[in-house]
Every structure is written in C-alpha cells, then in structure tokens.
Amino acid sequence: MAPDPPAKTVIDPFGTTVIEDYERLYQEFGIQPFKPLLNQIANPNAAMRRSVIFGHRDFERVLDTMKRRDDFAVMSGIKPTGEFHLGTLQTAREVIYFQQQGATAFYCIADVEAYEDNRIPFERSQKYAVGNVADLLALGFDPKKGYIYQQSKEERVKDLAILFGRGVTLATMKAIYGERHLGLYISALIQAGDILLPQLKDFGGPKPTVVPVGIDQDPHLRLTRDLAFKFRRKHNFIPPSSTYHKLIKALDGSPKMSKRSPMTYFTLEESPGVISKKISNSFTGGRPTAEEQRRLGANPDICPIYDLYLFHYFEHDEDVTKLYCQECKGGKILCGEDKQRLIKLVVDFMKEHQRKRRQYIDKARQILNVE
Ligand code: SF4
C-alpha cells in the first residue's frame, strides 16, 4: 500500500491556515506540547484540560512566575472586522483566565490590521470595537486590572513599530509572511509593538508575558521574539511566551471558520432563529442512516458539533468524554438529537450574554473614548 501523502500545514495570519496534523507542529515549527505542563498548573482552565490548548512557546517562564506570584502580563486582542465569533471568544476567555490568575491584562483592538488586511475603514472598525469591548466586559474582563486600547490611537505601540522597522529586512518579512503589500508588514511590526507594550516602563517594565492565540498567529510570535532579542539592550525585553489553541472547525466541516462564508460560523450577536438554522444545517461526523449510526457509531473527530461542545458549550469535562466515547462513538445518540441539545445550550448562553453585553455598551464607549 502506498504511504499516506504528507499532511499539509500552512500557517498564515493574513490568509488561510491549514493544520491537518497538530503533532507535526512540534517537529516542524518548534512549538512545545502543552500537556506535560498541565499537572504543574494549579487551576487549569477547560481549554487546557481538554487539550484545546495544545502547544506553547516558553510558557514555563510564565508558569514559574505564576508559582512565585510575581508580576506577569497577558496580552492578546481582536481584529475589529465584525461581531465576536467563536474564535475570538476562545481568545477572550483565555485572557480573562490569566487575568483571574493575577496577570495584568492587555487587550488590543487591532484596527490597523483590520484596515491593512481587511480594508475596514477606521470609522467602521471603531463601531465594531465598541461591541467587541462590551463582549469582553460581559465575559468577565476586569478593566481595573487591565488595559484595553486601539492600535491606531496608542502612540507607544506605533513608536515601537518604528523602532522595530530598523531590526528587520524585507527578506525576513517575506520569509515569515510571504510576499505581501507593505501595509501588512507594517501591521505585523505594530503587532510586535502590542506584544511588547506590557514591558515598557509605563507599565512597570520588563516582565514575563503570555500571549494566548490561535495557532494561525504564530508567525507574529516568532517575529516578536526575534525583535525582543534584538532590542534587549535598549528595553531589557523578556521574550514573550505564547499558548496556542486549536482552531474550531467551521460548520461545513472545513478546518477553520471564515467570515467569507457566513453559514460556516455564528457570532455572539445572532438571533436564536439564525443560530438554530446554522446548527441544524451543519456538517457532522454521522453515518448515512440511523441504523448504521446505532450499530457502528459516528466520528466526533471530524464533527464541528463536537468541537462546539468541546471548546465552549459543555461546562463539565465528564460530559465531553461521555459524548466522545459513549454517545457519539458508541452510537448512543443520533446527530439530529445532538444538534437539538446543542441549539438549546447555545441559545441559552447567547440570551444571557446579549443581556449582559447591552449593559456594557456605555462602558465600552468610555474605555475607547468614543462619543
Ligand atoms: S453524534 Fe454529535 S458529535 Fe457525533 S457526529 Fe453526530 S453531531 Fe457529531
């Protein structure tokens, strides 16, 4: 028998990311597996326990700092191109988790990247940003223990980007990001500024910083770690650490949700009717007939419904294990029934979230200094 063709891996923060085998990232991209660290973390979150967070760079440094209860920071953000979706929800939850573990939290509204990558004018991204910040607050971000800002208005980030421009060549940018227009390279330097902002004197100076992101963002981490090293004399930067979560499957079964295909994902602002329709039409790992599914079981590994439970909608780990092993693989549940159960959980969560979010809109405007 011919060997399987090598799995395709493409990591591109400005384009399509394809990960067919997360294991290969350890060998080919120098990412460390997260699992061996799990038993050292006093209070791991669901994403860590369930291996949704699968890899890291240099997280031991942050872990040691957490154990000593010293200062550390968490930094991540959102590209304000629309409402919060399930990928940005994942990142926000991780930022809030580290904030609750004692980190000073930095949350960036990446409006420069939204402009350069998605051509979203700043006036429009500002409107999205207000909603995005209200979502973040509704999820539990404490603004008294953190800093939320827009890239385009944060001079210190832009100053760092100008400084960093001297430390990279066009060849390096091409090697990391491929052939791109200059605006994207500039936005990458600004992201490096975002990641190292927590270490400036204004925020208490150098400190371990963890950046929780989807694996598609790893090129920004590689660039920033390199820049932190190059500019260590001037700023004493400590190379930032990162954790990587898997990308949640799109509802059509493809590896990543895409804003270009609205039926493949939903946002936190959608109505129960739309959510119900999207989940009902979703691809699954089910069998062609009910009889076969009861007899042979289904395949949760290719199923976006399973991902939704795993990433977001089952509170208890035992429920995830039961779905995977007994209900799905064991043929105890049919996909239609499983989808109905999920719809109820999602709609209940959305109603409660949207109620809280409405209460935070004024606060979000105030934080962003928007009329
Ligand atoms: S039973 Fe549920 S998890 Fe399994 S394939 Fe069907 S929808 Fe997916």
- pLDDT for 15 equals 77
Q: Tell me, what amino acid is at 95? A: V
Q: Tell me, what amino acid is at 305? A: I
Residue located nearest, by CA, to atom 7 of ligand 1: 335
The neighbouring-strand residues paired with 213 are: 244
Report the chain's mean pLDDT, rounded to a whole number.
93
Give me the phi and psi of 74, to 5 degrees please: -120, 140
Q: Tell me, what amino acid is at 335? A: C
Ligand 1 center from residue 113 Cα (angstroms): 36
pLDDT at residue 2 greater than cutoff 60: no
- pLDDT for 6 equals 46
> DSSP states of 22-83 as a string?
HHHHHHHS-PEESGGGGGG-SS--HHHHTTSEEEEESHHHHHHHHHHT---EEEEEE--SSS
When pLDDT is cut at 50, 70 and 90, the band that residue 16 belongs to is confident
267 neighbors 82 (Cβ within 8 angstroms): yes
Q: Which two tokens stand for residue 7?
A: 């799995």
Better pLDDT: 86 or 360: 360
Range of weakest confidence among 9-13, 196-200, 247-251, 330-334: 9-13
Q: Summarize pLDDT for 283-339 with one digit per residue, the tens.
A: 999 999 999 999 999 999 999 999 999 999 999 999 999 999 999 999 999 999 999
Helix-, strand-, coil-residue percentages of the chain, each rounded to 5: 55, 10, 30
How confident is the model over 238-260, as a mean pLDDT?
86
3-state class (DSSP) for residue 247: coil
Which stretches of 169-261 are DSSP H helices? 170-177, 182-196, 218-230, 232-235
pLDDT at residue 23 greater than cutoff 60: yes
CA 140 to chain CA mean position, Å? 16
Residue with tokens 């990543």: 256
Mutation pick for ligand 1 pocket among 279, 295, 329, 335 (CB with most ligand atoms within 8 Å)? 335
How confident is the model over 135-140, as a mean pLDDT?
97
Q: Which residues of 263-296 are buried (b: 16+ CB within 10 A; e: fewer)?
A: ebbbbbbbeeeebbebbeebbbbbbeeeeebeee
Ligand 1 site: residues with CB under 6 angstroms? 284-286, 298, 300, 303, 305-306, 328, 333, 335, 338
Q: What angle in degrees, to the nearest 10, is found between the helix axes of 335-368 and 122-139?
A: 110
